[in-house]
Chain A
Amino acid sequence: MASIWEYANPRKFMGTSAALLPWVTAIAALCLLGGLVWGFFFTPNDFRQGSTVKIIYIHVPSAIMAVNAWFMMLVCSLIWFIRRHHVSALAAKAAAPVGMVFTLIALFTGAVWGQPMWGTWWEWDPRLTSFLILFLFYLGYIALWEAIENPDQAADLTAVLCLVGSVFAILSRYALVFWNQGLHQGTTVSTVGVGVEENEGVSSVFLYPMLTCLTGFVFLFITLVLYRTRTEIRARRLKALIAQEQMA
């Protein structure tokens, strides 16, 4: 049986990702289009929040993906450390800007949603603040990649930063809860169940379009990371060829 690590071979990765990309792109487009249209136009308005609640179909998936992108970078960094798979290091590099944009979208949609609901664009609430800090972590991670010329050295140092940063990100998360009990509602998607009252958790009318959107965001993330990893591999190869040219 073929080992999963075979896909860490750059050539194998290029081949497999090229075959996969049309499919994941299509799934991402379908789910996003379907989920957003469903959510925006075919669900009732919330009895308290009105139509503003519909921003949830972008806000929640992007927030979930913002955290998961960092988690994926952490896993890739560990794989790079333990098994020295170069594709893994480049995938972490490729995921960072995507994760950063998801974080920005979550922050922006949160502000737009929060303004009519809480009467303020920004609140130093633990959830909001931890996303702001997550954004800073992404910024630092990307800046470190950009600052180091030697790609293997950059991969090593950013992986160290990612590991240490993850510990501090979790620490900050709990420190913030301690610091300020927030306004933000608790996580509602996971508390859904049949017959749950309307003000506890999300009822299934909202849940299914939400899950569709979430699937769309997951596949959007996969699509973007695959494209960006392929670009990084090409850029790396190009750099090597230019270097070779100069040496000859």
Chain B
Amino acid sequence: MMGLLKRDLALAIRAGGGFGLSLAFFLIFTALVPFGIGPETGRLSEIAAGLLWLGALLACLLSLDRIFQLDWEDGSLDLLATSPLPLEALAAIKALAHWLTTGLPLVVAAPILGLILNLPGPAFVPLVLSLLAGTPALSAIGTFGAALTVGIKRGGLLLSLLVLPLYVPTLLFGAMAATRGAQGLDPTPTLALTLGITLGCVALLPFAAAGALRINLR
């Protein structure tokens, strides 16, 4: 199992692995916001926490179709499915690898991008904590979506359509925690709810993803 994680991380980092693309998208998204909203720092700082959450979510979405698609195309998914590794473990590791290569860098980048959006001082810690608590759920849900659409040619758009409504609760609670922090309110209850969603997703969705993979490989 560690071998698969190591392989996926190595593949992500090497040429053509797409590591950093999501991060670059996040940067560009954040940089474009003032062009759409206007440069007044007061207004930007009010919506910065929510925007950063939205940007992280969209950046996460971009890289989802790579989770299983590449292994499907080159035939390794068939081989993995006939290996001793249970598909549930495969799905869980894929989600973990996705989080380590996409979610975690976004969490690290968010406070830096918060500076250019004038994120209020007290919001930094809640923002990072809420992203840390929420992005694993985004990876787990995304892995499930990727497993559903793995057999579909050019399924990227469909994948977004399926996954975005599933992202709603995570986004609501995560962004709320960050925004409450920005307003000087206690973010703990919403943080706990975000974490709750993540724990539920991480515990249960690999089973659903494995089921979808099994159906798709038939």
Contacts of A156 in B (CB 8 A): 215
Inter-chain CA distance A130–B173, complex, in Å, is 15
A143 is contacted by which of B158, B169, B197 (Cβ under 8 Å)?
A: B158
Whether A147 and B166, one on each chain, are in contact in the complex, defined by CB atoms closer than 8 angstroms, is no
Contacts of A178 in B (CB 8 A): 172-173, 176, 193
Q: Is A238 part of the contact surface with B, judged by Cβ < 8 Å?
A: no
Inter-chain CA distance A156–B212, complex, in Å, is 8
Would A179 and B172 be within 8 Å (CB), given that A147-B155, A148-B152, A164-B166 are in contact?
A: yes
Contacts of A176 in B (CB 8 A): 172
Q: Is A171 part of the contact surface with B, judged by Cβ < 8 Å?
A: yes
Contacts of B155 in A (CB 8 A): 147
Query: Which of B54-62, B92-100, B120-128, B143-151 makes up part of the contact surface?
Result: B143-151
Contacts of B211 in A (CB 8 A): 160
Instruction: Digitize A26-69: 1 where CB-to-B-CB distance is under 8 Å, 0 elsewhere.
Output: 00000000000000000000000000000000000000000000
Docked complex: A172-216 residues within 8 A CB-CB of B: 172, 175-176, 178-179
Whether B218 and A161, one on each chain, are in contact in the complex, defined by CB atoms closer than 8 angstroms, is no
Inter-chain CA distance A241–B42, complex, in Å, is 66
Q: Is B199 part of the contact surface with A, judged by Cβ < 8 Å?
A: no
Binding site for B on A (CB under 8 A): 133, 136-137, 139-140, 143-144, 147-148, 153, 156-157, 160-161, 163-165, 168-169, 171-172, 175-176, 178-179
Whether B165 and A144, one on each chain, are in contact in the complex, defined by CB atoms closer than 8 angstroms, is no
Whether B165 and A164, one on each chain, are in contact in the complex, defined by CB atoms closer than 8 angstroms, is no
Inter-chain CA distance A178–B168, complex, in Å, is 13
Instruction: Digitize B172-187: 1 where CB-to-A-CB distance is under 8 Å, 0 elsewhere.
Output: 1100100000000000
Inter-chain CA distance A13–B144, complex, in Å, is 34
Whether B205 and A147, one on each chain, are in contact in the complex, defined by CB atoms closer than 8 angstroms, is no
Chain A: which residue is nearest B167 at the CB level?
A: A168
The secondary-structure label for the interface of chain B is helix
Whether A147 and B144, one on each chain, are in contact in the complex, defined by CB atoms closer than 8 angstroms, is no
Whether A140 and B162, one on each chain, are in contact in the complex, defined by CB atoms closer than 8 angstroms, is yes
Whether B168 and A157, one on each chain, are in contact in the complex, defined by CB atoms closer than 8 angstroms, is no
B164 is contacted by which of A136, A175, A179 (Cβ under 8 Å)?
A: A136
Q: Is B1 part of the contact surface with A, judged by Cβ < 8 Å?
A: no
**Given A136-B161, A147-B152, 19 other A-B residues pairs in contact with their CB atoms under 8 A:** A133-B165, A140-B165, A143-B161, A144-B149, A144-B158, A148-B152, A153-B215, A153-B218, A157-B215, A160-B208, A160-B215, A165-B166, A169-B165, A171-B197, A172-B168, A175-B173, A175-B193, A178-B176, A179-B172
What 5 A-B pairs are tightest by C-beta distance, nearest first?
A: A136-B165, A175-B169, A140-B162, A156-B215, A171-B169
Contacts of A144 in B (CB 8 A): 148-149, 158, 162
Inter-chain CA distance A20–B132, complex, in Å, is 55
Chain A: which residue is nearest B190 at the CB level?
A: A178
Whether B148 and A139, one on each chain, are in contact in the complex, defined by CB atoms closer than 8 angstroms, is no
Would A172 and B169 be within 8 Å (CB), given that A164-B144, A164-B208 are in contact?
A: yes
Inter-chain CA distance A169–B211, complex, in Å, is 20
